[in-house]
Structure 1
Amino acid sequence: MRGLYYAFVESTDALDGKRLDDRAGLPEYWPGILTRRREASLYEPTHRVWLDCVRRDYFLDLDWRTEPCERNNIEHANKRRRQLLGMDPHQLATVLLLTHREDEDGAMEPLQEGSWHRIELGSFHGLPVVVAPDFDLIAAQEHYLRWYGEVTQLERDWLANVFNVDFVPDAQWGDRGGPTPPPYPQAPSKDAGFTYPIHQPLRS
């Protein structure tokens, strides 16, 4: 799963720092990230970020990435559905990033939900992450992430054209190695028997 990727910010959640101290109550892959952050003299994380990624070279080789797909056009919608389902699942990845607002000298601030970024995954120095085929993090691998900034407007237009599924009526997607459908499934919050240390909004 190493290489250059386009990364979509699926969700960003503020963390409760006090609850992070209870390592026994965290999912098994969280303590590893926290330990690697401390070894790298990084701040304790303030946010959990889920990234949905597609390998850059693979995406740029899609000859249909600029193909128009008109909203509410059934023929276009069915064709785009087939194209998305035909994508190689090995070129897609889900990344769990526990980050602090000061990571990369504050450059991580643009990681807002719904935004696209250019990243690199590898075994080099960077921000410690967990990478897996899907949000269930089965077969997860420890990697490091380097952030190269937001995508260009042209790249954003291509990505939105390929992955914007709003035009597909009643879309039913297949999976990519798990029960969660691509391209932008909901990230887990309280599942698999774990209670995540996320700040919960107060209710009036």
Structure 2
Amino acid sequence: MKKVLLSAVAIFAFGFANAQETKFGIKAGLNMANLSGDIDDTSMKAGLHVGAFAEIKISDKFAVQPEVLFSMQGAKVDGGDYAFNYLNIPVMAKFFVTEQFSLEAGPQIGFLMSAKANPDEGDSVDVKEFLTSTDFGLNVGLGYDFTENFTAGLRYNLGLSNISDEDNGDIKNNVFSVSVGYKF
């Protein structure tokens, strides 16, 4: 954990030292989340994400974009759903194909804030103790700047780590996101 945080600080320090331009912004959007691995009969669950970002331009064609996002994830299952809330920190490398259109990729670490199993009938059950506290993933996506301030993006997060804290399963988060943002 310390190595991840130190690496993130080093990236930010390098980016700010060599940056041509830095813009800060806010973003929000829709998540379509699911779980994969040793879990059967799941389907996508809609949720939201909201947070802040910094776009650090290294050159005309390349930028680094660290983000901090509250993200609603989980999956629908027969008879209810799983609702997981994460604080996600992706660090995206952005390559600008044109002045407005970018390709994005980068790692993400997520910190589990809450986890509930919600049956169709009955009270929700806290299942956080059965999940790991951190999640690692790889993001790939597209970005488009409509104006200097307004932006939109499509992103897929492929879960790389097992979020099950039980010995009998390997379960991963997978999230497709659509977002809009405003750069200051």
More strand by share: 2
- Using the size of structure 2 for normalisation, the TM-score is 0.26
Q: Which has the higher helix share?
A: 1
Normalised to the residue count of structure 1, the TM-score between the two structures is: 0.24
Higher RCO, 1 or 2 (CA under 8 Å, sep at least 6)?
1
